[in-house]
A and B are shown apart, each in its own frame.
Chain A
Amino acid sequence: MAGFLLQQLVNALTIGAIYALIALGYTMVYGVLRLINFAHSELFMLGAHISYFLLAVAAANAGGAALTLVLLLVFAATFVVVGLIGVGIEAAAYRPLRGASRLAPMLSALGVSIVLQNAVMLFVSRRPLPFPAFLPQLSFELGGAIVTAKQLFIVGFSALLMVGLTRFVNATSFGVRIRAVSENLQTAQLLGININVPISLIFFIGAGLGAVAGIFYSSYYGIAVFSMGFIVGLKAFTAAILGGIGSIPGAMLGGFALGLLETFGTGLLPIVSAGSIGTEYRDIFSFSVLVVVLLFRPSGLLGETVTEEGMVYKRDF
């Protein structure tokens, strides 16, 4: 029993880390622009695909000893490339719509996500690509559960990235500006901050983290496919909401929380329902979490509760 639970825990942490990384992108963009960046899920997918090709190139040219260095380079390159794509999308498709209705940027984001998904489908591959295993296939037993090197790597590296992001946002001048624009965009502008810099930075970092999550996801499940973004993206968004949209620690917490909920929830469903509801209900389960959170606690675990004061004089959505 303990082994089973521990196994589920390890699985939960792994997928949770991936959700957390993607959720960070959603939450940061929402925090500053109040925009649900539908295209974000496709950046996750792009990360997987771009790294697929970089890894193929790396495998062809690099030897065993320089492997770690090469891997880090691939990660960094993917981060940067997808990050820049994210910045480009913001500049081309969202920035011109900053003054327009709330509907417009959302629809633009939808359009971009459709374009990205279909572009990859048409010009890269319609069929799933077999993602290379760049990590040693090690696994060891821990208290009845089997933990793989892959899982350790994903959780560990994700934690590192999250710590790095937290430090960046809390202790650097760029971070101050990011927090300023997230707090109150207009005031930040009035204070003389060129808001486009922190906004672009937010998109860069968010996209990069999502891309790395894509690498993790594809290496975990062994494939990269053009359609991988939609459902995972929706779940990561659920995680962001669960943790409190707009809150960076919230996104991290939400990611792991959703991982736990999903893994334990769908792991228990067959047991609880005596086999009638199977694990194919995993997706319905996650969507239901989304709906339930939004209905009963839309501010999530760590999110802002909109105070009454704000409500009277601001236009309510």
Chain B
Amino acid sequence: MTLRFENVSKRFGALIAIDGVTLDFAPGQITSVIGPNGAGKSTLINMAAGSYSVTAGRILLDGIELQRLKKHQIAQEGVARTYQNIRLFDGMTVLQNLEVCLFAELVGEAWAEVLLSGAARRSRAARVERCRGELARFGLEPLAEAMAGDLSYGNQKLLEIARAAILRPKLLMLDEPAAGLNHAETESLKRRLRELMRPDLIMLVVEHDMSLVMALSDHIYVLHQGKLLFAGSPQEVQANPAVQEAYLGSPGEIDQIRDTARRRTNRVRIRADADIERRRPHSV
């Protein structure tokens, strides 16, 4: 069982975000995708999850072509993801945020829940039981009745992962899970992600935090300007000169950029802008 991006391209108008990339992700290991900003990392997740359409190529999960499916169908195939900027249901409780993930599984029996009062109570109880158990695994059980929107940032991130995990997905994609976390929280995250690992789970992590990536990953893909720059183990990636150049820039590049910026002029009518300039002190 594998995830494969086969010759995948994505363009937004004239901008090519991903350019003919082929990547394989194996189960039972944590594969990270890294690269400087604009490399197209989040785009990969968005395409696999169905938020973006694929301009060319295929995305295959166990032979199923994900790029043909609708978003909810992809999720029902066992694909779970977290978001860079958290998207929880703020107005629902922590427990409900988890319960609602069971929708696809349980909606078929909803009619029984409505028409038979005994069944209603029983199914709700079973559901709550299951979700509380999951919350306990993440240490969030005491917060079950709190509104998701009221949680601390760290707990919200945890809840997102709990939601992604509850249905035992085949593919778990994490979009910058460590963003905004302090050192202790990042360590905790590392532990949890390792705990979540199963032999039949494919975990794809997009991340900027290098210490986390190097400590956590079994395999790393480095993207740069929409193309695959390098692939290998954490040690190999750290040592590779091309990767270093991509992140830090080659020696002459910085000066080149400075020169160009100085020489460029904007040929736009100034009059209107000048007006705003003059008025700015009053308008703040």
Contact = CB atoms under 8 A, between A and B. Distances in A.
Contact of A308 (B52, B272, B282): B52
Interface residues of B, number: 18
Q: How large is the interface on A (under 10, 10 to 19, 20 to 34, 35 or more residues)?
A: 10 to 19
B51 A308 contact: yes
Contact of A192 (B85, B275, B284): B284
Contacts of A197: 283
Interface of A: 171-173, 175-177, 192-194, 197, 307-309, 311-313
Main secondary structure, interface of B, reads: helix
A166 B270 CA distance: 19
B46 A312 contact: yes
Contacts of B275: 173, 176
B111 interface: no
Contacts of B284: 192, 194
Given A173-B272, A313-B85, A194 B12 contact: no
B89 to A, nearest CB: 11
Interface of B: 12, 46, 51-53, 83-85, 271-273, 275-276, 279-280, 282-284
Contacts of B51: 308, 311-312
Main secondary structure, interface of A, reads: helix
Output the residue of A171, A175, A177, A309 with the most chain B CB within 10 A. A309
B283 A193 contact: yes
Contacts of B283: 192-194, 197
A313 B12 contact: no
A308 B276 contact: no
A150 to B, nearest CB: 38
A253 B85 CA distance: 39
Contacts of A192: 280, 283-284
24 contacts: A171-B272, A173-B275, A175-B272, A176-B272, A176-B273, A176-B275, A176-B276, A177-B276, A192-B280, A192-B283, A192-B284, A193-B276, A193-B283, A194-B282, A194-B284, A197-B283, A307-B12, A308-B51, A308-B53, A309-B12, A311-B51, A312-B51, A313-B84, A313-B85
Contacts of A175: 272
A309 B83 CA distance: 14
A91 to B, nearest CB: 18
A313 B45 CA distance: 13
